[in-house]
């Protein structure tokens, strides 16, 4: 028999995953509507649809564990708060960057919390966290612009730092509001201080993403 | 060997289908963001993703016919014009109704033009025009409200007529701007005056959709 307390912690994590997948879908579709050309709009729309496809799997997992899909997901409804308003992009480049940075941090959070799931659930969750190709899309779009325009590069570096800070704050807030999530950390992480270890891990991931663009975090 | 002129007409039609599928995706996602609850948001988001999934098939068909996917689709980029601005909904009900009416008319247009395709293309196109369930969703949401609130019902009837008129205008405009589309009408339709026959058919479909809601078109 599965342990009910452990089940509750897994359902809580699946709620986080579901909410972030839906948020990514929504963000990608909004970005798609601002794309400067039709191929860009279609590509981002397809990535959005890909993020949403994972919800079916997550819903099945939650239901199998005896949880309620919308309750588990809804408990994260305030996760992003007024992030969108506080980070209104001033250009297409800033918009691409914002999504790349914020959903990059959130994906790292999702992965950091999903290493200790049992084999079946773990494999299913891993599939839902598969790379959508969004990062590669953004790097391909931004890299040449950043290399060619030092002034824009400096502005985007600053922007990336600001959005990165906001995203790290969202991740910390999620852990503070949902202490069950910390149960999914492995022993190394727990020894490293739990939430502090996660913050450090996410900062490293953020720096790596900025570095891919030729920018310093 | 396929007839190049016929191929061009089919590519033109597939461009219309592709553009409408992308427009439906975009519209459903925007509506989803206004849904009053999480299940509604997820349901509409899933329908949106379903509409987009059909683009892959349409892209394959266009490419197989030697056409360019983005060119064929892009030739309809002005199709909706300022429809969104001219029909800004005043409530969630008006928003649901607008999408139901407008994309209902457009789906009827897509079907009316797709009856004479060769068997293989026809079957593939028919799959992309499959019912997304959006109509049933809207009817389930609006029917009880309309039955219970005569004043709202009267307002929605008026609104439905106005949006229906706009949507019929869009369909007529598409036929006027893309005369190749008329090549897809069958003999009965051609004998009935081509565009006039289509208008009549779409009006009938619109009246049927309003009737499902207990409203007069």
Q: Which residues of chain B make contact with A73, given a CB cutoff of 8 A?
A: 38
Q: Which of B33, B39, B52 sits opposite A70 (nearest CB)?
A: B39
Residue B2 has pLDDT above 70, yes or no: no
d(C-alpha A208, C-alpha A217), whole Å: 8
Asked whether residue B163 is assigned to any structural domain, the reply reads yes
Q: Which of A32, A39, A52 sits opposite B49 (nearest CB)?
A: A52
Min Cα distance A49 → chain B (Å) is 5
Asked whether residue B155 is assigned to any structural domain, the reply reads yes
Q: Which residues of chain B make contact with A39, given a CB cutoff of 8 A?
A: 70
- The residue among B19, B25, B80 with the most chain A CBs within 10 A of its CB, best to mutate, is B25
Asked whether residue B8 is assigned to any structural domain, the reply reads yes
Do residues B135 and B100 make contact, with C-beta atoms less than 8 angstroms apart?
Answer: yes
Please tell me the predicted confidence (pLDDT) of residue A70.
98
Residue B145 has pLDDT above 80, yes or no: yes
Question: Number of C-alpha atoms within 13 angstroms, CB side, residue B14?
Answer: 31
Asked whether residue A92 is assigned to any structural domain, the reply reads yes
In tens, the pLDDT along B182-196 reads: 999 888 887 778 889
Domains in chain A, number:
1
Q: Which of A33, A38, A55 sits opposite B73 (nearest CB)?
A: A38
In tens, the pLDDT along B83-119 reads: 999 999 999 999 999 999 999 999 999 999 999 999 9
Asked whether residue B35 is assigned to any structural domain, the reply reads yes
Checking ipTM against 0.85, whether it exceeds it is: yes
What would the 3-class secondary structure string for B48-115 be?
HHHHHHHHHHHHHHHHHCCCCHHHHHHCCCCCCCCHHHHCCCCCHHHHHHHHHHHHHHHHHHHHHCCC
Asked whether residue B200 is assigned to any structural domain, the reply reads yes
d(C-alpha A11, C-alpha A61), whole Å: 8
The neighbour count for residue A201, using CB atoms within 10 Å, is 18
Asked whether residue B217 is assigned to any structural domain, the reply reads no
d(C-alpha A199, C-alpha B139), whole Å: 47
Asked whether residue A24 is assigned to any structural domain, the reply reads yes
Tell me which residue range forms the domain holding B116. Answer: 4-212
Residues 6+ apart with CB under 8 A from A94: A156, A159
Q: CATH number of the domain at B64, please.
A: 1.20.1260.10
Q: Which residues of chain A make contact with B46, given a CB cutoff of 8 A?
A: 52, 55
């Amino acid at each position: 028999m599965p342990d009910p307390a452990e089940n509750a912690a897994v359902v809580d994590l699946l709620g986080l995953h579901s909410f972030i997948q839906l948020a990514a879908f929504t963000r990608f579709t909004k970005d798609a509507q601002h794309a400067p050309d039709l191929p860009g709009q279609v590509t981002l729309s397809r990535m959005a649809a890909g993020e949403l496809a994972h919800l079916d799997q997550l819903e099945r997992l939650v239901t199998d564990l005896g949880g309620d899909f919308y309750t588990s997901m809804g408990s994260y409804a305030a996760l992003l708060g007024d992030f969108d308003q506080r980070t209104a992009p001033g250009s297409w480049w800033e918009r691409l960057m914002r999504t790349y940075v914020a959903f990059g941090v959130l994906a790292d959070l999702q992965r950091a919390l999903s290493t200790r799931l049992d084999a079946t659930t773990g494999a299913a969750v891993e599939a839902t966290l598969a790379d959508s190709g969004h990062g590669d899309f953004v790097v391909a779009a931004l890299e040449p612009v950043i290399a060619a325009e030092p002034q824009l590069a400096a502005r985007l570096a600053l922007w990336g730092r600001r959005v990165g800070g906001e995203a790290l704050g969202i991740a910390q807030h999620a852990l503070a509001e949902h202490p069950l999530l910390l149960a999914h950390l492995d022993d190394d992480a727990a020894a490293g201080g739990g939430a502090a270890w996660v913050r450090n891990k996410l900062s490293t991931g953020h720096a790596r993403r900025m570095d891919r663009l030729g920018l310093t975090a």
